[in-house]
A and B are shown apart, each in its own frame.
Chain A
Amino acid sequence: MSSKTSTPHEHHIVSTGTYFVTLIALVVLMIATVAIAQVNLNAIGPFSGTVVNQVIALVIAVAKAMLVITVFMGVKWSTTLTKLWVASGFVTLILLFGILGDYVTRHYEHQSGWEKIEDGSLPRFTPDERTVPGPKSNDLNVKIRQ
């Protein structure tokens, strides 16, 4: 595919009406999110009310973001290349959130590490009783002169 000639950037001029309706939608969503946040929702299934609240707030935020991105930033009418680059930042950000995997799985085994300081005492260290402490001497069989 030659890149020499390309369709000129969309001279598709979006109408003022579309922009205005989008603005109204955004403001409505904002009012909704504030209103819902004042209410302590009930639990749904295994998810506590707090989690439900947070999820709803995030869903509304994502909806607002999608409106801004697709309409105000014109991505709805843009080329595939642009859409790919819009997505790539967020996809990589999701990869970054993979760091949470460490924190979620750290306490599966009773490992020491980053523990909450509850009453100002030192962090708890709970060595797993099943582990056998390794030999004190060097296990590489390297003679170390004292």
Chain B
Amino acid sequence: MSSTVISPGELKPKPPAEEPNYLNVNHTISSWLLTGDHKRIALLYLVSTSFFFFLGSIAAGLIRYELTSPAGVVLESDTYNKVFTSHGVIMVFTFLVVAIPAIFGNFLVPLMIGARDLAFPRLNLASWYMYMTGGTLILAGMVFGGVDTGWTFYTPYSSMYSNTQVSMVIIGIFIAGFSTITTGINFVVTIHKMRAPGMTWFRLPLFIWAMYATSLMMILATPVVAITLMLVVYERTFKLPIFSPELGGDPVLFQHLFWFYSHPAVYIMILPAFAVVSELIANFSRKRIFGYHFVAFSSLAIAGLGFLVWGHHMFVSSQSMYESIVFSLISFLVAVPSAIKIFNWMATMYKGNVHLQSPMIYAIAFLMIFTVGGLTGLFLGAAGTDVHLTATYFVVAHFHYVMVGGTMLAFLGALHYWWPKMTGRMFSDGIARVNAVIVFVGFNLTFFPQFIVGWLGMPRRYHYYYFAPEFQAYHIMSTLGASVLGLGFILPAFYLTQSLFTGKKASANPWGAHGLEWETSSPPPTSNFLETPIVMDEVYDFDPVSEHARDLRNLQEAEEWKKAHDGMDNLPEEDN
């Protein structure tokens, strides 16, 4: 690249060896544990959620190992129940709901809107401590005997009959729920009140729209599950009759209240993934997102409609047939905004200047895997077919396609994409691309056989299947896939950590992307921006001419274009 072409991050004179940034400004432990800086809190979340994810994956490994033989391998039935419950509880409540919003939301929301910090930094720190307290209580419950009710805690088993650590784990979930609520409050107020001058709603990155919709659900749905789970604890402790059929209560009431939260919860898990994918696809196609308004409003539509479909988890629970019809219909409707996003993303890539760097590979893999996951949700959303498929491995495969293939892939894509911004170091993109393919292959090998074996009748949460030994081939394939997938999850821990020490220092905008976060140094200073940015145009203002500059042999043309636009375009750096 000619020396006359510079990217905006280097408009200022070359910095000395270590410019003060949020990482090196203070090295003491208390400066980390008592920080109000949203970026440091994001890193605290990164470390802690990775730890919980690791524990949850051990449980997953045990499950897959156990299922390689029709009569089970090492676990008793009771222990198996505890293992899949801990897998579910840890993955849902301490990882999926938290990861992308708390790490990337915390880090990026102020940066993307041009603010110095979130609205309530001390509340943000309190949020992390609540998360750690809740997570620790959950783990304590697992260690002191575990829980065998399933992550759904259906009554009356959880409220009356189970002899396991239900109360302790529920209190942990309760506390962690408040972490979610406070994060949501922070995001909503920040996005409403702290946007930089000129940053109107429709100039916002789509990441912010999706984070806002996620926060809506976090705020309004989480309290319902909090009080419902607390009632289970009261019922266990004081022998109350609220959900007990013998005493006049209704166990299905618990299911209604539980799913009133837990369905929006799954959208809380996937909307941040949509947020990430919007950013990845736009920036790596060097093209404005197709149908920006549609994608923005579809996030809100998903949040709104997501509150109206909880009954599709209860088609076989003796819920009224008329309700089932209504829920089935609305479930089909809620698929529409997700489909709108998928089509718009694909249209963005069409005739875009697609750069297949590792974050983009994750994003493309997301498109494929999430589409399969979403389509299989329709089989489950139709009440008739759901009667056959519910409580089988078809459901398990469906939600792992959208949760792991959706949220986890977006998480990895986000981690790679914003790693240089967060740490100031570039990792080796070659290894990262290979890893993305490993994850994709391993994922499909793990979960696609589960669709088949579920349709054939393998029930979920069973630890043996000696009545159908022909399922073994599928289970073994799934376990092999899980090993590959596990490798794909472990490798980034190594090469990303290694980049902290030996990776080359990242410039402000190593990917050539658009967004306010790329206009400050990597890593950013504590106050995010040296001067308050004033926004003149929408974020995805890629110019088709200059973004295809790699094809432009005539650099003079590029420079003239640059002059005509005040020299503010981003030409991509060479990739490694």
The answer to whether A binds B is yes
**What's the least CB distance linking A36 to chain B, in Å?**
30
Please state if B245 and A114 are interface contacts (CB–CB under 8 Å).
Answer: yes
Please state if A96 and B260 are interface contacts (CB–CB under 8 Å).
Answer: yes
When C-beta atoms are compared, the residue in chain B nearest to A104 turns out to be B320
A-B contact pairs, 25 of them (CB 8 A): A1-B201, A2-B197, A89-B220, A92-B220, A95-B307, A95-B308, A96-B224, A98-B308, A99-B257, A101-B320, A101-B323, A101-B326, A102-B252, A102-B256, A105-B320, A106-B318, A106-B319, A106-B320, A111-B318, A114-B252, A117-B248, A138-B457, A142-B456, A145-B467, A145-B468
CB contacts (< 8 Å) of B238 on chain A: these are none
When C-beta atoms are compared, the residue in chain A nearest to B192 turns out to be A81
B437 on the interface (CB 8 Å rule)?
A: no
When C-beta atoms are compared, the residue in chain B nearest to A2 turns out to be B197
A39 on the interface (CB 8 Å rule)?
A: no
Please state if A3 and B250 are interface contacts (CB–CB under 8 Å).
Answer: no
Count of chain A residues with Cβ under 8 Å from any Cβ of B? 34
**What's the least CB distance linking B234 to chain A, in Å?**
19
A112 to B318, CA, bound (A): 8
B372 on the interface (CB 8 Å rule)?
A: no
Please state if B194 and A111 are interface contacts (CB–CB under 8 Å).
Answer: no
Please state if A3 and B323 are interface contacts (CB–CB under 8 Å).
Answer: no
Mostly, the A contact residues are: loop
Q: Out of A96, A108, A117, name the residue touching B320 (CB < 8 Å).
A: A108
A89 to B199, CA, bound (A): 28
A145 to B322, CA, bound (A): 38
In the complex, the 9 A-B pairs of residues with the closest C-beta atoms, listed nearest first: A105-B320, A105-B322, A106-B320, A113-B318, A92-B220, A99-B256, A102-B323, A114-B250, A2-B197
B200 on the interface (CB 8 Å rule)?
A: yes
CB contacts (< 8 Å) of A142 on chain B: these are 456-457, 468
B14 on the interface (CB 8 Å rule)?
A: no
Please state if A144 and B260 are interface contacts (CB–CB under 8 Å).
Answer: no
Please state if A2 and B195 are interface contacts (CB–CB under 8 Å).
Answer: yes
CB contacts (< 8 Å) of A102 on chain B: these are 252, 256, 311, 319-320, 323
A104 to B469, CA, bound (A): 44
A1 to B216, CA, bound (A): 21
B243-260 Cβ-contact flags toward A at 8 Å (1 or 0): 001001010110011001
Most buried by B among A6, A102, A112, A113: A102
Most buried by B among A2, A6, A89, A117: A2
**What's the least CB distance linking B388 to chain A, in Å?**
8
A123 on the interface (CB 8 Å rule)?
A: yes
CB contacts (< 8 Å) of A104 on chain B: these are 320
B321 on the interface (CB 8 Å rule)?
A: yes
CB contacts (< 8 Å) of A113 on chain B: these are 252, 318
**What's the least CB distance linking A105 to chain B, in Å?**
4
A102-126 Cβ-contact flags toward B at 8 Å (1 or 0): 1111101101111011000001000
B198 on the interface (CB 8 Å rule)?
A: yes
CB contacts (< 8 Å) of A114 on chain B: these are 245, 250, 252, 318
**What's the least CB distance linking B471 to chain A, in Å?**
10
Please state if A92 and B307 are interface contacts (CB–CB under 8 Å).
Answer: yes
A140 to B467, CA, bound (A): 15
**What's the least CB distance linking A11 to chain B, in Å?**
18
**What's the least CB distance linking B347 to chain A, in Å?**
29
B317-349 Cβ-contact flags toward A at 8 Å (1 or 0): 011111100100000000000000000000000
Please state if B321 and A144 are interface contacts (CB–CB under 8 Å).
Answer: no
B193 on the interface (CB 8 Å rule)?
A: yes
**What's the least CB distance linking B180 to chain A, in Å?**
16
A6 to B79, CA, bound (A): 58
A2-B318 contact given A99-B256, A138-B457, CB 8 Å threshold: no
A136 on the interface (CB 8 Å rule)?
A: no
B231 on the interface (CB 8 Å rule)?
A: no
Please state if A109 and B323 are interface contacts (CB–CB under 8 Å).
Answer: no
B196 on the interface (CB 8 Å rule)?
A: yes
A99-B260 contact given A89-B220, A144-B467, A144-B468, CB 8 Å threshold: yes
A104 to B467, CA, bound (A): 41
A56 to B311, CA, bound (A): 32
CB contacts (< 8 Å) of A88 on chain B: these are 216, 220
CB contacts (< 8 Å) of A1 on chain B: these are 200-201
**What's the least CB distance linking A3 to chain B, in Å?**
5
A109-B260 contact given A4-B197, A89-B220, CB 8 Å threshold: no
From 509 to 525 in chain B, residues with beta carbon under 8 angstroms from any chain A beta carbon are none
**What's the least CB distance linking B196 to chain A, in Å?**
7
Most buried by B among A3, A101, A143: A3
A64-108 Cβ-contact flags toward B at 8 Å (1 or 0): 000000000000000001000000110010011011011111101
From 431 to 474 in chain B, residues with beta carbon under 8 angstroms from any chain A beta carbon are 456-457, 467-470
CB contacts (< 8 Å) of B221 on chain A: these are 92
A143 to B109, CA, bound (A): 55
From 1 to 60 in chain A, residues with beta carbon under 8 angstroms from any chain B beta carbon are 1-4, 6
Sample of 6 further A-B pairs with CB below 8 A, known A3-B192, A99-B253: A95-B308, A102-B323, A111-B320, A114-B245, A123-B245, A140-B457
